Amino acid sequence: MQKIKTSVIASALLLGLVPAALAGGNMLPIVDYLTRHAGQKVTIYGRLTDEIHQHMVMPPPSHQKIAYFRPDIGGQTVIYLAKTAPACQGPLKLVGQVVELRGSSKRPGEPPSKVDQTYVEHQLRVESSLCLPAQGLDADLRLLGLEEASLAQKQKARERLYQGGKNAIPLLIGHLRDERNYEKGKTLPPPLNAPVHASPPPPLVVNVPVSQVASELLYQIITPIYSSAYASRRKVYNSDLFLVKDWEKWWAKNQHKSLAQIHTELKPKVDKYWQTKGTAQILD
């Protein structure tokens, strides 16, 4: 059985080197915090809360209803809704535009922020919301970046997403710009084709974003379990079988196929990989 290895795109996503076109240019960033995203359309996970802190608030008619939201990472922010707040007993996913408010803090005695000597808040004008179930693929995707979840819990969620097969593909594509952390302080092994040094290079310690995990899972799901007759133990150019330049376009072309059909169609690509000494095969 051929071992599935981490994609070069996944590794590059971790280091922030992949252009938006390769990861899917139209996808929204999924964020922990609204800061640094003023004016952007984003996705964020969290819960509604009845515990109200003091906040600045935009005046109507920019909204019909105000609610208070606790992101998964902690803290609290104001959200603006065009209609009644979703009746979620548990976690929910919001999509909306980040707005930046500047003014004086409503908290007595609190000093201003250092930005223009005014108090700054980032809030969300909600465009859509989704109540998340307690279980299922959507819940597992939230769990991958949940701060309070253990790595063991995240690994189990990752395995469930892999077992989700074709059903998980469109959901994972939607998380290729997920900025939340899956794992913090991971030490990476040296690159396979690293030059020879008199002493080993210092270890590279990074945070692993959910976007990388989503990319790795996508490649794992579409890769057939197949032992090519052309496989050899000789050194290859790289360990990556496939390279999908735009997952959204690839999925639009292939979503009508079963996963078994996709695997069958990709077996000749695996042969080609070995015949070309390890050249990643482009999937359009």
- Supply the pTM of this predicted model: 0.78
In a domain, 136, yes or no: no
**For position 86, what pLDDT does the model report?**
79
Between 220 and 197, the higher pLDDT residue: 220
- For residues 101 and 240, state if they share a domain: no
- For residues 151 and 271, state if they share a domain: yes
Element spanning 119, H or E: strand 119-131
- Residue 39: phi and psi, rounded to 5, are 85, -5
- For residues 123 and 156, state if they share a domain: no
CA distance 123 to 118: 16
Between 115 and 191, the higher pLDDT residue: 191
In a domain, 51, yes or no: yes
**For position 1, what pLDDT does the model report?**
34
Tokens (6 digits) for 105:
């803090």
In terms of average pLDDT, the best of 126-135, 161-170, 231-240 is 161-170
CA distance 118 to 55: 14
Is 50 exceeded by the pLDDT of residue 24?
no
Q: What is the DSSP letter of 34?
A: S
CA distance 236 to 26: 34
- For residues 167 and 60, state if they share a domain: no
Yes or no: say if 174 and 130 are a contact pair by the CB < 8 Å rule: no
Please provide the average confidence, as pLDDT, over all residues in the chain.
Answer: 83
In a domain, 183, yes or no: yes
Residue with tokens 């189990």: 156
In a domain, 142, yes or no: no
Tokens (6 digits) for 59:
């005046």
Rg (CA), the chain: 22
What domain range includes position 55? 33-131
Last residue of a domain, one of 97, 131, 165: 131
Q: What is the DSSP letter of 178?
A: B
Is 70 exceeded by the pLDDT of residue 254?
yes
pLDDT band at 37 (very low <50, low <70, confident <90, very high): very high
Is 80 exceeded by the pLDDT of residue 19?
no
Question: Using one digit for the tens of pLDDT, what is the confidence trace for 58-84?
Answer: 776 666 788 999 999 988 999 999 877
- Amino acid identity of 197? H
Is 50 exceeded by the pLDDT of residue 15?
no
**For position 8, what pLDDT does the model report?**
33
**For position 22, what pLDDT does the model report?**
40
CA 158-160-164 angle, 5° bins: 115
In a domain, 21, yes or no: yes
Bridge partners for 146 per DSSP: none
CATH of the domain at 102: 2.40.50
Range 204-224 average pLDDT: 94
Between 54 and 218, the higher pLDDT residue: 218
Closest CA to 265 of 215, 214, 218, 226: 226
Yes or no: say if 219 and 245 are a contact pair by the CB < 8 Å rule: no
Question: Using one digit for the tens of pLDDT, what is the confidence trace for 85-114?
Answer: 778 878 999 999 999 988 765 555 666 555
Q: Where are the alpha helices (DSSP H) in the chain?
A: 8-15, 20-23, 137-144, 151-163, 169-173, 210-222, 247-254, 259-275
Instruction: Find the range with the poorest average confidence among 1-5, 89-93, 213-217, 274-278.
Output: 1-5
Count of domains for the chain: 2
Yes or no: say if 160 and 140 are a contact pair by the CB < 8 Å rule: yes
